[in-house]
């Protein structure tokens, strides 16, 4: 035992019990308890915020997807109606173009003109007026009316032929004619002769008649209308009213008419 006690080790430092000291690493150092709680709360809040944002985004995506789906469904359901409307409009436009082209072609081929009538001559054969009561006891008028068709390819018909003989707005007699036809590029003269008895004038007409007898010029108007019809091509029929308003001046005592303005005494179509 003494021998062992006197032995000294050459490295005495190796026999010493080392003093261990704990040095925490900076990366793993613990934060204070209150800092950890604050950080945890912030992390928790961030996590909830991201979850809510994700849910809102997903809901918005679903909502947007639903909104796009319903119009798509409506568009799919309405597509046949839209196409039908487009087809009908297209057919209508084509039909209008075809009809317009056909009418224009017929116009170029036939070059239609309006048939008309014109007063060529007239006579005041008799006038017996009573100034006491304003009654025209007897009046006889003769008028030649020419119906003319200037179309070079088609015949024209005149119907509902009606001409009134008037003095100062009062109808004295009426001239009528049955339906008749006028060949192309030709005319037909209608010699009218009519008489009237007992027509009574109003006060303005009485004054006008007295003035006419004093001036020896009796103004009489022939006014009326006729229905003209003619055909262009196979299917196209044309019909117009032609209207006449012809003021005439007759010499008195009864005699021939003063020069007629044939442009004024020619009927007009609208």
Its pTM surpasses 0.85:
no
Residue 20: per-residue pLDDT: 47
- Please name which of 112, 168, 106, 113 lies closest in space to residue 136, comparing C-alpha atoms: 168
Architecture in CATH for domain 116-251: Sandwich (2.60)
Give the CA count within 13 Å in the CB-facing half-sphere of 103: 9
Torsion angles phi and psi, residue 232, rounded to 5: -120, 115
Please state, in angstroms and rounded to a whole number, the distance separating the CA atoms of residues 54 and 182: 92
Residue 218 confidence (pLDDT): 94
Q: Residues in the chain with pLDDT < 70?
A: 1-78, 106-111, 233-235
Q: Which two tokens stand for residue 253?
A: 């005592």
Q: If we measure between CA atoms, which residue out of 55, 78, 59 comes closest to residue 67?
A: 59
pLDDT of residue 73: 54
C-alpha–C-alpha distance, residues 264 and 116, integer Å: 13
pLDDT the model gives residue 57 = 57
What the block records as the tokens of 61 is 């995506």
Q: Which residue has the tokens 């001046």?
A: 249
Which two tokens mark 90?
């297209």
pLDDT computed for residue 3 by the predictor? 45
Are 166 and 172 contacting, i.e. CB atoms less than 8 angstroms apart? yes
Query: Residue 129: which of 170, 174, 176, 163 has the closest Cα?
Result: 170
251, 124, 133, 141: which is closest to 201 by C-alpha? 133
Q: Where are the domains of the chain?
A: 78-110, 116-251
Residues 6+ apart with CB under 8 A from 178: 161
Question: What would the pLDDT profile of 53-109 be if each residue is shown by its tens digit?
Answer: 656 555 554 545 555 555 555 555 568 888 888 999 999 999 999 888 877 776 666
């Amino acid at each position: 035992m003494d021998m062992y006690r006197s032995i000294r080790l050459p490295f005495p430092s190796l026999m010493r019990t080392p003093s261990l000291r704990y040095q925490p690493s900076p990366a793993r150092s613990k934060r204070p308890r209150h800092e950890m709680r604050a950080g945890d709360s912030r992390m928790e809040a961030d996590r909830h915020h991201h979850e809510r944002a994700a849910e809102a985004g997903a809901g918005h995506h679903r909502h947007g997807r639903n909104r796009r789906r319903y119009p798509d469904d409506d568009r799919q359901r309405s597509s046949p109606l839209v196409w039908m409307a487009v087809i009908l409009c297209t057919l209508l436009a084509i039909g209008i173009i075809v009809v317009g082209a056909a009418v224009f072609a017929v116009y170029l081929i036939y070059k239609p003109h309006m048939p008309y009538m014109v007063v060529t001559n007239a006579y005041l054969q008799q006038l017996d007026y009573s100034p006491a009561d304003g009654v025209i006891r007897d009046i006889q008028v003769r008028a030649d009316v020419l119906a003319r068709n200037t179309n070079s390819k088609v015949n024209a018909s005149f119907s509902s032929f009606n001409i009134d003989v008037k003095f100062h707005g009062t109808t004295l007699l009426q001239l009528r004619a049955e339906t008749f036809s006028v060949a192309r590029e030709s005319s037909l003269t209608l010699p009218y002769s009519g008489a009237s008895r007992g027509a009574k004038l109003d006060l303005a007409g009485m004054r006008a008649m007295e003035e006419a007898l004093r001036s020896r010029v009796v103004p009489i108007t022939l006014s009326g209308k006729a229905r003209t019809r003619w055909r262009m091509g196979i299917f196209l029929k044309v019909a117009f009213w032609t209207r006449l308003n012809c003021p005439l001046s007759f010499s008195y005592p009864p005699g021939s008419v003063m020069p007629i303005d044939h442009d004024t005494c020619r009927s007009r179509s609208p």
